[in-house]
Chains A and B, each alone.
Chain A
Amino acid sequence: MTQIAPTAQREYVTIFFNGEAYRVPRGLTIMKALEYAGFRFTRGSGCRGGFCGACPVIYRLPGDYKVRVGLACQTAVVDNMYISLIPYVPLVEHVSRREELKPDSGYVLKLFPELSRCVSCNSCSKACPQGLSPMDAVQAILRGDLKKAADLTFDCIACGLCSLRCPAEIRHHAVFRLVGRIVGVYYTPRSKSVEERVREIESGKYRAVFEKLLATPVTELRRVYEEYMKTGRLPESLEVR
Chain B
Amino acid sequence: MYPPEVRKLIQIVEDTRRERARAPAPRRLSLEEREQLVRAWHPDYKPEYKRAVRVGPCKGLVMYSAVADLLESWPLVKPGELDLEHVDYEVDFLVVGSGGAGLATAWWAVKSGVDPSSVLIATKLRLGDSNTVKYQSGTQAATGPDDSPVIHLLDTLAGAHFTNNQKLVRVLAEEAPLVIKWLEELGVRWSRVGDDLERLPGGGATRARLHCCGDYTGLEVMRVLKDEIRSLGVRVLEFHPVIELLTDPDTGAVSGAVLLNLDTGEYKIVRSKVTVLATGGLGRLHIVGFPTTNHYGATADGLVLAYRAGAGLVDMDTLQYHPTGVAWPEAILGELIPEKTRSIGGQLVNAMGQRFIYELEPRDVVASAIIRECSEGRGVVTPTGTCGVWLDTPIIEVVKGPGTIKRELPALYRMFLRHGIDITEEPILTYPTLHYQNGGVLLDEWTHVLRPSGEPIRGLLAAGEVTGGIHGKNRLVGNSTADIFVFGRRAGIEASKLVRESPKPKLSLKHLERYIEELKQIGVPESRRAPILLPDYRGEAVLKRIIRISFQLK
**A and B in contact, CB less than 8 Å:** yes
The interface of chain A, by Cβ under 8 A from chain B, is: 1-6, 27-29, 32, 35-43, 45-52, 54, 70, 74-76, 95-98, 130-131, 150, 154-155, 157-158, 177, 180-185, 188-198, 201-202, 206, 209-210, 213-214, 218, 221-222, 224-226, 228-229, 232, 234, 238, 240
Q: Are B150 and A206 touching (Cβ within 8 A)?
A: yes
> Is B538 interfacial (CB-CB < 8 Å)?
yes
Q: Are A197 and B30 touching (Cβ within 8 A)?
A: no
Closest to B30 in A: A226
11 contacts between A and B (CB under 8 A): A3-B538, A5-B540, A47-B296, A49-B293, A95-B231, A98-B187, A185-B186, A191-B197, A201-B149, A206-B150, A214-B167
- Given A41-B296, A98-B231, A154-B216, check contact A51 B411 (CB 8 Å): yes
> Is B547 interfacial (CB-CB < 8 Å)?
no
> Is B295 interfacial (CB-CB < 8 Å)?
yes
Q: Are B188 and A225 touching (Cβ within 8 A)?
A: no
> Is B89 interfacial (CB-CB < 8 Å)?
no
Closest to A27 in B: B330
Q: Are B538 and A35 touching (Cβ within 8 A)?
A: yes
> Is B195 interfacial (CB-CB < 8 Å)?
yes
Docked Cα-Cα span, A20 to B230, in Å, equals 39
Question: Besides A184-B189, A226-B31, 15 other CB < 8 A contacts?
Answer: A3-B540, A28-B330, A96-B227, A98-B228, A155-B410, A180-B220, A192-B196, A194-B143, A194-B180, A201-B177, A210-B153, A218-B162, A221-B162, A234-B151, A234-B154
A186 to chain B, nearest CB (A): 8
Which one of B190, B410, B539 contacts A38 once the chains associate, using CB atoms below 8 Å? B539
Q: Are B219 and A2 touching (Cβ within 8 A)?
A: no
B190 to chain A, nearest CB (A): 8
> Is B23 interfacial (CB-CB < 8 Å)?
no
Total chain B interface residues with beta-carbon distance under 8 A: 93
Q: Are A46 and B296 touching (Cβ within 8 A)?
A: yes
**Which B residues are in CB contact (< 8 Å) with A70?**
418
B310 to chain A, nearest CB (A): 28
Docked Cα-Cα span, A5 to B134, in Å, equals 28
**Which A residues are in CB contact (< 8 Å) with B84?**
none
B266 to chain A, nearest CB (A): 14
Q: Are B189 and A154 touching (Cβ within 8 A)?
A: yes
**Which A residues are in CB contact (< 8 Å) with B186?**
98, 184-185
Q: Are B411 and A40 touching (Cβ within 8 A)?
A: no
**Which A residues are in CB contact (< 8 Å) with B167?**
214
**Which A residues are in CB contact (< 8 Å) with B78?**
none
Bitwise, B159-194 to A at CB < 8 A (1) or not (0) is 000100011001000110110110011111110100
Q: Are B539 and A155 touching (Cβ within 8 A)?
A: no
Docked Cα-Cα span, A75 to B419, in Å, equals 8
In the complex, identify which listed stretch (B49-57, B331-339, B397-405) lies at the interface while the others stay far away. B331-339
Q: Are A193 and B145 touching (Cβ within 8 A)?
A: yes
Docked Cα-Cα span, A238 to B463, in Å, equals 30
**Which B residues are in CB contact (< 8 Å) with A150?**
189
Q: Are A50 and B411 touching (Cβ within 8 A)?
A: yes
Q: Are B536 and A1 touching (Cβ within 8 A)?
A: yes
Q: Are B534 and A42 touching (Cβ within 8 A)?
A: yes
Closest to B554 in A: A40
**Which B residues are in CB contact (< 8 Å) with A185?**
186-187
**Which B residues are in CB contact (< 8 Å) with A193?**
143-145, 196-197
Which one of A2, A177, A194, A206 contacts B174 once the chains associate, using CB atoms below 8 Å? A206
Docked Cα-Cα span, A20 to B418, in Å, equals 26
Docked Cα-Cα span, A225 to B160, in Å, equals 13
In the complex, identify which listed stretch (B39-47, B125-133, B490-498) lies at the interface while the others stay far away. B125-133
**Which A residues are in CB contact (< 8 Å) with B291?**
2
Docked Cα-Cα span, A176 to B538, in Å, equals 36
**Which A residues are in CB contact (< 8 Å) with B180?**
194
Q: Are A6 and B541 touching (Cβ within 8 A)?
A: yes
Docked Cα-Cα span, A50 to B131, in Å, equals 12
> Is B7 interfacial (CB-CB < 8 Å)?
no
Docked Cα-Cα span, A197 to B196, in Å, equals 13
Closest to A30 in B: B331
B346 to chain A, nearest CB (A): 19
Give residues 233-279 of B contacting A (CB, 8 Å): 239, 262-263
**Which B residues are in CB contact (< 8 Å) with A154?**
189, 213-214, 216, 220
> Is B148 interfacial (CB-CB < 8 Å)?
yes
Q: Are B554 and A42 touching (Cβ within 8 A)?
A: yes
- Given A42-B534, A181-B227, A198-B177, check contact A51 B331 (CB 8 Å): no
Give residues 110-142 of B contacting A (CB, 8 Å): 125-126, 128-131, 133-134, 142
**Which B residues are in CB contact (< 8 Å) with A191?**
143, 181, 184, 190, 192, 195-197
**Which A residues are in CB contact (< 8 Å) with B534?**
40-42
Closest to B216 in A: A155
Q: Are B129 and A43 touching (Cβ within 8 A)?
A: no
**Which A residues are in CB contact (< 8 Å) with B177?**
194, 197-198, 201
Q: Are B150 and A3 touching (Cβ within 8 A)?
A: no
> Is B4 interfacial (CB-CB < 8 Å)?
no
Docked Cα-Cα span, A95 to B331, in Å, equals 36
> Is B415 interfacial (CB-CB < 8 Å)?
yes
Q: Are B189 and A225 touching (Cβ within 8 A)?
A: no
Closest to B128 in A: A52
- Given A35-B537, A46-B296, A48-B295, check contact A225 B143 (CB 8 Å): no
Docked Cα-Cα span, A137 to B196, in Å, equals 26
User: When A and B form their complex, which 5 residue pairs have the shortest distance between CB atoms, in order from nearest?
Assistant: A184-B187, A38-B542, A35-B537, A185-B187, A36-B539
**Which B residues are in CB contact (< 8 Å) with A226?**
30-31
Docked Cα-Cα span, A49 to B541, in Å, equals 26
